[in-house]
Amino acid sequence: MSRPFNFSPGPAALPEEVLQQVREELPDWRGGGVSVMESGHREDDFRRCAHEAEADLRALMEIPGDYHVLFLHGGAQLQFAAVPMNLAAGQSLTADYVNSGHWAALAMAEARRYLTVNECATVADDGAVAMPEEGAWRRSDGAGYLHYTPNETISGLEFHRVPEAGDAPLVADMSSVILSRRFAVRRFGLIYAGAQKNIGPAGLAVVIVRRDLAERAAAGAGTVPRVMNYAAQAAAGSMVNTPPVFAWYVAGLVLRWLRGNGGVAAMEKQNAEKAAVLYNCIDNSGGFYRNRVAAEWRSRMNVTFTLAAPQLGETFLAEAAAAGLTGLRGHRAAGGMRASLYNALPPAGVLQLTEFMNHFRQTRG
């Protein structure tokens, strides 16, 4: 079976080696005669599997010991609510939110149910999509935290620097950028990510939270559902209730694969090269393809582009699929095309895509 190169934004490509391993050990996992999906989460085998996944993530991201690592249900959007619920902990609180686009706006809308949101900066789109300079952000005094979205998956805008949060803990929705480049975890109070882009199957979210912030959650335990409570989940090893065992197991295989392939530093280098190849192709197309994000804000994970002749869009997608390139349709809110270049998408996929795009331009341009 020849598999296409999969540029899907999420759920996204998984390493082929991982899929093979899942297939091989599916019926008889770790010699127990049953699959991981049929194994008790409190049995030794699964506990070991869970522990290995956490240890690998800690090693890959160099997560300091005073941070909890949680594997939780509900994807990133449940964290849009869990973050303010836990960090406000029943008190009245103002939090600063950086509105960089679609996902940041949804995170803000959810947070408004639980605290006062100060939209301290807003993405600009006058010709090119870009964020205002950090010096111009309207931060509030004594904010409970500063929330931002390091990579906006839909528009393809990425922060290439971590903002200076000052006294406020920095909270980041890293769903589409975690493990794609190095981050100094110490700069953050809390990191969360839906798994289905760079970690594993959907249905799982990873939360990395500094202990003192998880304790804030403990103080507000009366108002936060137990499965969403960071302190309770930390105390229970992310097993307040039955965790998404299959997703957690596959995430563990992806993390092991990553460690065996040079870790985050190697991915960072490869991801920068992949993105540069594709942006070059777009920028050298004489306007046939166009990316609307200002150069210093371009995402290395999600490369968006439109065709000068939008009526060719469906033909582009059909011919791309025939050439073994799938998942290129842009988000329904944005239109156009989007190539997502997560860790599991190999450089050869980008080369094949740019060859296709050049050929398409030469025959239709």
Provide the binding-site residues for ligand PLP, judged by CB under 6 A: 10, 75-77, 103, 149, 153, 173, 175-176, 194
- Decide whether 145 or 356 has the Cβ nearer to ligand PLP: 145
Catalytic residue (one of 56, 197, 257, 274): 197
Q: Which of 267, 301, 264, 266 is nearest to 58 (CA)?
A: 264
| Spatial distance between the Cα atoms of 9 and 197, rounded to a whole number of angstroms | 7
Q: CB of 114: closest distance to ligand PLP in angstroms?
A: 17
Cis bond upstream, residue 11 (ω within 30): yes
| Spatial distance between the Cα atoms of 341 and 228, rounded to a whole number of angstroms | 31
Q: CB of 77: closest distance to ligand PLP in angstroms?
A: 3
| Spatial distance between the Cα atoms of 261 and 255, rounded to a whole number of angstroms | 10
Q: In this structure, what are the phi and psi dihedrals at residue 77, rounded to the nearest 5 degrees?
A: -70, -25
Contact in structure between 305 and 336 (CB atoms under 8 Å): yes
* C-alpha distance across the termini of the chain, in Å: 33
Q: CB of 101: closest distance to ligand PLP in angstroms?
A: 9
- Decide whether 149 or 271 has the Cβ nearer to ligand PLP: 149
Kindly state the greatest CA–CA separation across the chain: 64
Catalytic residue (one of 96, 173, 257, 274): 173
| Spatial distance between the Cα atoms of 84 and 78, rounded to a whole number of angstroms | 11
- Decide whether 54 or 173 has the Cβ nearer to ligand PLP: 173
- Decide whether 175 or 354 has the Cβ nearer to ligand PLP: 175
- Decide whether 173 or 288 has the Cβ nearer to ligand PLP: 173
Q: CB of 60: closest distance to ligand PLP in angstroms?
A: 19
- 118 burial level (CB within 10 Å; 0-12, 13-18, 19+): middle
Q: Is 198 helix (H, G, I), strand (E, B) or coil?
A: coil
- Establish whether 173 is a catalytic residue: yes
Q: CB of 123: closest distance to ligand PLP in angstroms?
A: 13
Q: In angstroms, how far is CA 160 from the centroid of its own chain?
A: 15
- Establish whether 274 is a catalytic residue: no
Residues with Cβ within 8 Å of residue 127, at least 6 apart in sequence: none
The per-residue DSSP string of 9-38 comes to SSS----HHHHHHHHHHSSSGGGSSS-GGG
- Decide whether 107 or 325 has the Cβ nearer to ligand PLP: 107
Q: CB of 337: closest distance to ligand PLP in angstroms?
A: 17
- Establish whether 197 is a catalytic residue: yes
Catalytic residue (one of 103, 137, 248, 257): 103
- State the residue number with the nearest CB to ligand PLP: 75
Report, as residue numbers or ranges, the catalytic residues.
Answer: 103, 173, 197
